[in-house]
Amino acid sequence: MAEILTLKRWTATIAYRTDAGPKNSVYGIEELGEIQDIVERGPDWNSIDQITIKLGRRMEPPTFTVEDGERK
């Protein structure tokens, strides 16, 4: 699953509270709007502790800067 996630633009990790303790679900997504669909599919959104979103780095090490973007 990790290889698939690295091909996506974003990685979203949703931490849920369960009776057995915290449970993390990891999703590879292309558009941030997809998170809404994932949350709506369940489990119940009231059980969400937190959602973390990270940019899927396509270059290692990440060297691109704000100034690089302005030069484009």
Task: Give pLDDT tens digits for 5-20.
Answer: 457 889 999 999 999 9
pTM of the model: 0.75
**Which two tokens mark 69?**
């973007």
What pLDDT does 4 receive? Answer: 46
pLDDT at 3 over 60: no
* Spatial distance between the Cα atoms of 18 and 47, rounded to a whole number of angstroms: 7
* Spatial distance between the Cα atoms of 69 and 1, rounded to a whole number of angstroms: 31
Helix (H) or strand (E) holding 23: strand 23-29
* Spatial distance between the Cα atoms of 58 and 16, rounded to a whole number of angstroms: 28
pLDDT at 49 over 80: yes
**Which two tokens mark 47?**
């059980």
Tell me the sheet residues that pair with 14.
25, 51
What pLDDT does 61 receive? Answer: 67
pLDDT in tens, 14-48: 999 999 999 999 999 999 999 999 999 989 999 99
